[in-house]
Structure formats: structure tokens, C-alpha cells
Structure 1
Amino acid sequence: MQKTFRGVYTVMITPLDPSGAVDLKGLAAFTDWQVKEGIHGLIPLGSTGEFLSLSEEERDSVARTVIETVAGRVPVLIGTGAEDTRESIRLSVKAEAMGADGVMIIPPFYSTPTDDELVHHYKSIASAVTIPIMVYNNPATANVDLTPELVKRIAEIDGCDYIKESTLEVTRVRDIIRLAGDDMTVFGGILGFESFVMGAQGWVAVASNVAPGPMARIFELVANEKKFDEARELYLKWLPVIQAVGGQAYVAGTKSLLTHMGFGAGLPRPPRLPLPPEQDAAMKRLVADFGLTFGA
């Protein structure tokens, strides 16, 4: 039976050991910690997970480790975006066979496909799997923009039931809900609290890598308990952490925070570089200020 996706889903980092290899033991511990801290769902192999810097064998091992460690406790969506539609189909079919609850798929990011080509792309993938697809709109990295009008068309495809909306235009959430209705459930990709207030049913968050409990609680206060003032207060309290892992430092910054929290996240893979010393020191201060710790 398909699970309904709702809440805060961590787009997970991929921990690397000192030699630069994927640390599967560390990943399992990190995954278990996330679930125990109250996260609502997990998404390995997204941008934060450096999926384009991993070999297919490494990606498979990451997906398998997360799925097996979670063991059905929360939904797991696997990032299966690719430039070639056939490749994305193959990866999505493989993810379903591994036991993924869904897949998150960024559009082809080099060929700048037209709207009709994007509809065909997602329709082709949806016809090959039975698990839900979370469409991923991130114009800054994908070079195409899934406008609300285009999302309405994609929402008509059976199986394309969710979207991660990663622009800074919170009105996109409003317009997708207005145009697509129940055919498309919106997750915020950057503006979590603001998206919740506009009706989003989830947030694919980077900050929940380091603070899964508080990020999940922000959603619960807004969506479940309708305690908007309390949610806003909690959101503003944690805004420095949310902002610290925004922008270009989202991978290096998150790994820096986790390292200072006591988790061996390792360094980013090139071309990404670790934070400069002064920024890393700022992350260390942030960990101390917020009392952030990793306790698997």
C-alpha cells in the first residue's frame, strides 16, 4: 500500500570517510538518528547528498542502506533524476525494486527541455513505476522552471503526485494548489514555514540534517495544531541554522555543522570544497550556541 507523504523530509547528506569513500556504517547511524529524532521522511541522493558526485554503485549502496535502516518507520524517497529519460526510468525502477516508497526527480538539467518535453519525460517515468513521483522544481540548478501552469499539466499524470517547490516565490505554493488542487501535494524546498502557511503539506529540508526534531516540530505546530504564533517563534529561533545551510554552502555547511556536532560527515567531494577556516569557525560557534549534538 502506498504511503501518503506529509511533513518534514530531510534531503540527506552522504557521509564520507577520511579517504573520501562513502561511509555506509556512518550513514546507517545517521539514518537511525534522524528517525529517532522525529523526522517525518528521508530523501537520500538529492543535491545535498552529492548524487552527481557518486558512482552508480555508491548510489545503490546509499539507497539500500537508508531503506534497510529505516525498515518502514518513515517514508524513503530516492533521488533518481538524470539527463536521459531512459536513465531516470531505469534508476526509478531500480529504486522501487529496492523498496523505496517514492522517487524524487529533478528535470533534465542540461538540455533545457520544453514544457511538452518535460511532460513527456515525467509521463514516461510514471508509466514505468507504481510508486509516487515527487517532481522537483529548482530552476537555479535545473535550468528550467516548472511554472504553476506547467505543474498543473504534470499533475494530470497518474503517479506524479508531489512537488518539491524550490524557489523563493512562496506564491508558487498558492498557485500550484489553486491550479492543480488535490492532484498535486506541495512540499516547500527552501521556505518551509512560509510554505506551510500557504498550504504546503511538507518541506524537503536541508536544515533537518542537523536539527530534525525542531524542523519537524515547526511543521506540526502549523499543519497539525494550528499554533501559528508558536511555530513562527520556533522558526525564527532556528533561522540562523536554516540560513547557515542555505545558498552555495548547503553541502559544505551542513557537513561542517555535523562534524562539530560529533558526527563524522566528512568533506564534500570536488568540485565542492570544505568551508574556509573562518566560516567553519562560525559553524562551530553556531553548534555551541544552539547546543547541537549528534547522539546515535
Structure 2
Amino acid sequence: MTSPASTAAFRGIWPALLTPLNADLSIDHARFASHSRALLTAGCGGVTPFGTTGEGPSFAMAERRDAVDALVAGGVPASRILVSTSCAALPETLALTRHALAIGAHGCLMLPPFFLKGVSDPGIIDAYRYVIDGAADARLRLYLYHIPQVAGVGLSHEVIATLKRLYPQTIVGIKDSSCELSHSLALADAFMRDLQVYVGNELDLPELGRRGSTGAVSGLANFMPRLVHRLVTQPDAPGTAHDHARVDRLLGLLGGYALTPALKGIMAMLSDDPAWLRVRPPLVALSPDGFAALEREVRAFGIHPETD
């Protein structure tokens, strides 16, 4: 197991927050803060708003800024918030990054530029430089976000190495949500001495934990934070194989549904609160029949809030 040199990177589970919505599809600030506080009480190191699971690019810059402010006003310490600041327009990414710095957030999670396709490595590097140089703040902790199957643009080893060389104190981690274990292990082999490498695919957490990964930004952690924590921090514990098999089964079950609506469906079921079913277009909420089918399957699976 390697030992990452970066001590600035987060530890523990920082759930990729689902974003609760009001009937008009605006963000429900009160429910957002309540959900975050409950996750911190359950032992999470922090929370991560407006990533992929949180429908981040579906919300305007002002909506995202105001919702993060509402988290802080609602009792979530800013130092325990990792803000996903990715926007299609770089000035908006920079504005959200400056806002995160102004409130004292732990750090920022940033995608490569994700609208234009076929962009070169120099172009991707320039996009990150625009934000880092524009922020011009030594406090900035930036996590590079690799999810090419969604963004359409990935992060090569050359891009990561160049950014780390240019900004050794700023670039502290990589979130690899490619869902390809071989890719995640290659990142760990190449960069774990200087960077923390996290994976988004919960099934890969034990393998990365053995390589020194200290946490995760996880969608399932919205309702299974303790189990996700065990997978990465106790990869060889006696119960890990059982936990891993449960996650494998649950992800197989969810494979029959669009992921974010299904995760929100589980939240609606566990909280007995149908408001959790709402999603922002272009996503489509579960139909009544779809929710009923998901509820039957998840209840048969069994989620245990006190241990999961």
C-alpha cells in the first residue's frame, strides 16, 4: 500500500448529495440542509453538492451558490463541504470556485470542459489554469473529476501530471468515476505518492483502499454511508465480502432504472417523503408504477439505516 504525500485531501465518505426539489423544481434548501446534517451525524466526513448525482449542471450558477449558502446557514460547517463547481462556461466555474473559497469550503471538484468534444490536452489544461489562476488563492484545494462516459471528455495522465507540476499545492486529489477498475488502479500507481485517488464506483472501493485511498464521494452514501465507509477504510475486514456482495446486488437492482431518479426513489421510500422523487429536466422522475416496482425490490433487498 502506498502512502499519499498530500495531507490536504479529504478523508472519509463525502456523499455525492442528491438535490431535493420543491414542487416548482427549485431547490428545497431546508430539506437539503437536513439531509446533509443527517449524513454528518451518521459519521460522514463531509458532503459534496452538485456533482453528477446531484444534477449539478442542471442548476444555474446562482441556484447553486444560494443552496451552498443555505447549507451553511442550516448548520453544515463550510469546512465540511466539497463544492462541485463545474459549469459549461468557465467564468461561472470560476465564480462558484471563488464563492467556495469565500465561505471557507473544504475544496472544489471540477470537471474538464464538458461541452465541446475532441478537445486537446493543452485545451483541458488551459481550462483548469483559467480557474486556478483566476481564483489566485493559496487556500484552493482542487479535485480533478474524471467521468468521461458522462462528460464526454477525460483526464489523461499527461493532464494530471502537468497540473500537479504547475500547481503542486492546489491539486490535491482525483475522483475517478470511470467505473473501470483497471483505470483507477493505473491512476493509483501513477499518482498516489503525491495525490489522493478516490473512486466513484462503490464496488472498486476495497481495491483502492488497499492502495491507500482514504475515502470516497459516493452516490449510495446518501443512504448507506456506514457501509460505503467500511468498504474503503476496512477493505480486508471479515464483513467486507458481505458488504461488497450487498452493494453488487443493489447496483444490479438499480441497473433497471435511470440512476439518479432511482436513488431519489430510495430516499423517498426510506423517508416516506414523495417529494424526493422530483428531478430537474432533462431527467424524468419515476412514474407511480416505476416507484412501486422499485420500492418492492428495495424493501426485499433491505436497507438498514442503523448499520448501512
State the TM-score bracket (shorter-chain normalisation).
0.7 to 0.9
- Give the SS at the match of 1:27: helix
- 1:76 corresponding residue in structure 2: 81
- 2:189 corresponding residue in structure 1: 178
- 1:232 corresponding residue in structure 2: 241
Unmatched 5+ stretches in structure 2: 1-6
Is 2:210 the partner of 1:205?
Answer: no
1:114 shift after superposition? 1.1
Mark the CA change 1:70 to 1:119 in structure 2 (over 3 Å): closer, same or farther.
farther
How far apart in 2 are the matches of 1:286 and 1:292?
14
How far apart in 2 are the matches of 1:76 and 1:247?
31
1:246 shift after superposition? 6.1
- 1:192 corresponding residue in structure 2: 205
Q: Which amino acid aligns with 1:236?
A: A
- Name which of 3, 25, 33 aligns with 1:28: 33
- 2:258 corresponding residue in structure 1: 249
Unmatched 5+ stretches in structure 1: none
- 2:3 corresponding residue in structure 1: none
TM-score for the superposition, normalised by structure 2? 0.84
Is the 8 Å Cα contact of residues 206 and 234 (structure 2) preserved in structure 1? no
1:198 shift after superposition? 4.2
Superposed CA offset, 1:238-287 (max 9, x none): 33334455697221011111001124424111111112445422321244
Q: Which amino acid aligns with 2:120?
A: T
1:74 shift after superposition? 6.6
- 1:116 corresponding residue in structure 2: 122
Mark the CA change 1:247 to 1:167 in structure 2 (over 3 Å): closer, same or farther.
farther
* RMSD of aligned residue pairs (Cα, Å): 2.5
Is the 8 Å Cα contact of residues 78 and 105 (structure 2) preserved in structure 1? no
How far apart in 1 are the matches of 2:175 and 2:256?
17
- Name which of 217, 221, 246 aligns with 2:234: 221
1:154 shift after superposition? 2.5
How many residues end up aligned between the 2 structures?
Answer: 289
How far apart in 2 are the matches of 1:58 and 1:102?
19
Q: Percent identity at matched positions?
A: 23
Is the 8 Å Cα contact of residues 215 and 233 (structure 2) preserved in structure 1? no
Is 2:132 the partner of 1:126?
Answer: yes
- Counterparts of residues 8-23 of structure 1 (less than 5 Å): 8-23=13-28
TM-score for the superposition, normalised by structure 1? 0.87
Mark the CA change 1:111 to 1:131 in structure 2 (over 3 Å): closer, same or farther.
same
Is the 8 Å Cα contact of residues 33 and 76 (structure 2) preserved in structure 1? no
How far apart in 2 are the matches of 1:78 and 1:38?
19
- 1:86 corresponding residue in structure 2: 91
